[in-house]
Chain A
Amino acid sequence: MSDHEYTPKSKVGKWFNDRLPLLTLANHLTDYPTPKNLNYWWTFGGILTFCLITQIVTGLVLAMHYIAHADMAFDSVEHIMRDVNYGWLIRYIHANGASMFFLAVYIHIFRSLFYGSYKSPREIIWIIGIIIYLLMMAAAFMGYVLPWGQMSFWGATVITNLFSAIPLVGEGIVTWLWGGYSVDNPTLTRFFTLHYLIPFLILGLVVLHIWALHVPGNNNPVGIDIKKPSKDTVPFHPYIVIKDGFALLMFMIVFAFFVFYTPNILGHADNYIEADPLVTPAHIVPEWYLLPFYAILRSVPDKLLGVIAMLSAILILAALPWLDTSKIRSAVFRPLYRQFYWILVADVLILGYVGAMPAEGLYLLIARVATAYYFLHFLVVLPILGFKEKTLPIPLSITEPILGGSPNLATVKNKESLNK
């Protein structure tokens, strides 16, 4: 479909397109051949784009009213909530939007893990995705500091102190990050600057992410390459556009419910107390989306090793395309991997749960076991599984029945669902 060279019909269009081929790009995007068997787990890419745009637009608006100064930040947020026209709406969308963004990105990542979307030839897409995820965490963390409540202040203190674990230069780096001897006004101002910058970096990386995706094309639930584009694919517009749109609207209903009816449930009450450098809140908990990593950090008794473990937990994902030795992409045809996949999902959920609990007694023990398993999954289970696992027979194409008769496409489709 996109094989043929595109030429605009109008003369002006051709003149323009010869100089800047925007129309060719638009044509590529609308005609982009997409596997017709994508399920709804593939709609989260579009949903994430929506989340990013929403955060950027509401963020720009908030920045018009927010004051990045330690003495005025908390007041200016209250000013937004009380006096600015629709300020409460815009702030609640932005605050809950961060959570929705992470919810969507986790689904997106776990979809990729299930269907092996990170495997050759899509390693670069995956690695760019990991960088985006890291930047999202940085943006979310710095954004959480801006209201200058108690959780903002103490979260910033704890997270920046992680760098003090670095031998020799650690203390110096922390002082440099703070611009003083504690988290204070200089810290707030620079966090605001970076919080403003990062979304645009993410936007740039998203363009690369999609560019890299459009080179090999989408993976699909069956995990095999497209054999006959004319038979196996549909043009992106209108088929995928409308489907993504439908899924996005579903997502927006959940989003709206949070914004309008429980806008503060995902936040922490202590953040409505203005920052006080003299009093630490009783429980310091990061936002829910960082809890698994927080649990990993706390499960290691050594300061430096804890930080290393936490960072490795994320960075190990970048090596995933090479740690997973299986040639088969989709978990649909990997019965053993499928079991381990679900154990990993449970493991991460458990880590998230104990991350919110006090780091003591049984919780600490569970956190340690779960942390160990997390690394085991990537470093031991995946490499060995690729050699040992007996996979199911794979269909010839995504529209044709499997060689040997069964299982047919209908059963394959049933098995695709993550919710077994």
Chain B
Amino acid sequence: MKNFFRILFLVIIIIGFQHQTNAAEKIEYLKTDWSFKGLFGKFDRAALQRGYQVYTEVCASCHSMKYLSYRNLAEKGGPEFSEEQAKAIAASFEVKDGPNADGEMFIRPGKLSDKFVMPYENVKAAQAANGGAYPPDMSVLVKARGGGVDYIYSLLQGYEDPPAGFNLDDGVYYNKYMYGNKIKMANQLSDGLVEYSDRTIASVEQMSKDVTTFLMWAAEPHLEARHQMGFKAIVYLIILTTLVYFSMKRIWSRVETEV
């Protein structure tokens, strides 16, 4: 048993190192209670559905989510829209398909199997439309930023007037949580910007939380399955370890040495 704690101790040291690695540039992010943290963490379905609404109505005009498909919206562990709702959402987008029998590309309504429609044809077009800055694809954005969900959540609420003497070029904005405090995305959220169908009040904080939850799911669509399986796996391992421990004691009782 002692050895187990020793190993654990080593592991903690290693994790500690990793944490300290990032500590250098770390600022205190805004905190909120995420439903998906912890051993049994699950997504808040309503928050995911609201988050999707914020994404489509606000973010999607610049940010792509190229690894998501409309079918994902109806999958287990996600926003869990009904199949019909997801089909309707997909059909509300125009998808370029083809070539048809005449060799021409054509536009048709989206299907469940389609990937999320991208706001720009390619990275260059996105840059050209956004003053040279590419709005990053948001499929795995949460995992691609050191602070994860807390960072995104804070950033969305981190717009402030720059301190006196802080020089900002045109098209650059001040954000408390951005690396170097300069961000090329203007503040997008304002109270009441979207109208939630479930009548939740769309405060900036609420929208930030909802859309961040949505992004977490987008980056980690199997998070719920992972937590569930993890709990089962660890309980199983503890049971088997206990059995093996007593079997070992029994076997080693034949020699006088202790294990």
A–B contact with Cβ pairs below 8 Å: the answer is yes
- Tell me which residues across on chain B come within 8 A of A81, comparing CB atoms: 222
Contact: B230 with A238, CB < 8 Å? no
**In the bound complex, CA of A352 to CA of B21 (Å):** 11
- Tell me which residues across on chain A come within 8 A of B255, comparing CB atoms: 36, 234, 239
CB-CB under 8 A for A260 and B13, given A249-B237, A250-B3: no
**In the bound complex, CA of A41 to CA of B179 (Å):** 44
| Interface window among B100-108, B162-170, B241-249 | B241-249
Contact: B3 with A259, CB < 8 Å? no
Contact: B244 with A264, CB < 8 Å? no
Contact: B245 with A246, CB < 8 Å? yes
Q: Which of A242, A251, A256 contacts B248 (CB 8 A)?
A: A242
Contact: B21 with A107, CB < 8 Å? no
**In the bound complex, CA of A88 to CA of B4 (Å):** 27
Mask for B209-247, Cβ within 8 A of A = 1, else 0?
000000000010110011101110110011011001101
Q: Is the interface of A mostly helix, strand, loop or mixed?
A: helix
Contact: A288 with B17, CB < 8 Å? yes
Contact: B230 with A256, CB < 8 Å? yes
B192 within 8 A of A: no
Q: Which of A103, A246, A272, A353 contacts B11 (CB 8 A)?
A: A103
CB distance from B110 to the nearest CB of A (A): 18
CB distance from A76 to the nearest CB of B (A): 11
**In the bound complex, CA of A253 to CA of B143 (Å):** 24
Mask for B11-29, Cβ within 8 A of A = 1, else 0?
1011101101100100000
- Tell me which residues across on chain A come within 8 A of B221, comparing CB atoms: 82
Q: Which of B17, B148, B233 contacts A256 (CB 8 A)?
A: B233
- Tell me which residues across on chain B come within 8 A of A269, comparing CB atoms: 143-146, 148
- Tell me which residues across on chain B come within 8 A of A37, comparing CB atoms: 257
Q: Which of B14, B140, B251 contacts A242 (CB 8 A)?
A: B251
Closest to A259 in B: B230
- Tell me which residues across on chain A come within 8 A of B227, comparing CB atoms: 260-261
**In the bound complex, CA of A399 to CA of B257 (Å):** 9
- Tell me which residues across on chain A come within 8 A of B186, comparing CB atoms: none
- Tell me which residues across on chain A come within 8 A of B4, comparing CB atoms: 250, 253
**In the bound complex, CA of A249 to CA of B234 (Å):** 10
Contact: A272 with B143, CB < 8 Å? yes
Mask for A236-280, Cβ within 8 A of B = 1, else 0?
001100110111011111101101110111100110110000000
CB distance from A299 to the nearest CB of B (A): 17
Contact: B24 with A251, CB < 8 Å? no
For window 371-420 of A, CB contacts with B under 8 Å fall at: 399, 417-419
A317 within 8 A of B: no
Closest to B142 in A: A272
Contact: B241 with A249, CB < 8 Å? yes
B157 within 8 A of A: no
Q: Which of A78, A88, A261 contacts B139 (CB 8 A)?
A: A78
**In the bound complex, CA of A204 to CA of B15 (Å):** 32
Mask for B124-143, Cβ within 8 A of A = 1, else 0?
00000000000010011001
Contact: A40 with B10, CB < 8 Å? no
Q: Which of B14, B179, B229, B251 contacts A260 (CB 8 A)?
A: B229
**In the bound complex, CA of A81 to CA of B222 (Å):** 8
B2 within 8 A of A: yes
A1 within 8 A of B: no
Number of interface residues of A (CB under 8 A): 55
**In the bound complex, CA of A247 to CA of B237 (Å):** 12
Closest to A269 in B: B146
**In the bound complex, CA of A78 to CA of B221 (Å):** 11
**In the bound complex, CA of A245 to CA of B244 (Å):** 8
Q: Which of B10, B20, B146 contacts A356 (CB 8 A)?
A: B20
A170 within 8 A of B: no
Contact: A419 with B17, CB < 8 Å? no
For window 20-41 of B, CB contacts with A under 8 Å fall at: 20-21, 24, 39
For window 88-126 of A, CB contacts with B under 8 Å fall at: 88-89, 92, 103, 107
B172 within 8 A of A: no
- Tell me which residues across on chain B come within 8 A of A399, comparing CB atoms: 257
**In the bound complex, CA of A261 to CA of B41 (Å):** 10
For window 141-164 of B, CB contacts with A under 8 Å fall at: 143-146, 148
Contact: B8 with A260, CB < 8 Å? no
CB distance from B174 to the nearest CB of A (A): 20
Closest to A233 in B: B255
**In the bound complex, CA of A88 to CA of B143 (Å):** 14
Q: Which of B15, B136, B247 contacts A265 (CB 8 A)?
A: B15
CB-CB under 8 A for A246 and B18, given A103-B11, A418-B6: no
- Tell me which residues across on chain B come within 8 A of A252, comparing CB atoms: 237
| Chain A contact residues, CB within 8 Å of chain B | 36-37, 40-41, 75, 78, 81-82, 88-89, 92, 103, 107, 234, 238-239, 242-243, 245-247, 249-254, 256-257, 259-261, 263-266, 269-270, 272-273, 282-283, 285, 288, 291, 349, 352-353, 356-358, 399, 417-419
Closest 6 A/B residue pairs (Cβ): A260-B230, A272-B144, A356-B21, A249-B241, A40-B3, A272-B143
| Chain B contact residues, CB within 8 Å of chain A | 2-4, 6-8, 10-11, 13-15, 17-18, 20-21, 24, 39, 67, 72, 136, 139-140, 143-146, 148, 179, 219, 221-222, 225-227, 229-231, 233-234, 237-238, 240-241, 244-245, 247-248, 251-252, 255, 257, 259
Given known contacts A272-B140, A352-B17, A356-B18, what 6 new A-B pairs fall within 8 Å (CB)?
A82-B67, A88-B225, A250-B7, A250-B241, A260-B233, A349-B13
A sample of 6 inter-chain contacts (CB < 8 A) reads A81-B222, A82-B222, A253-B241, A259-B230, A282-B179, A288-B14
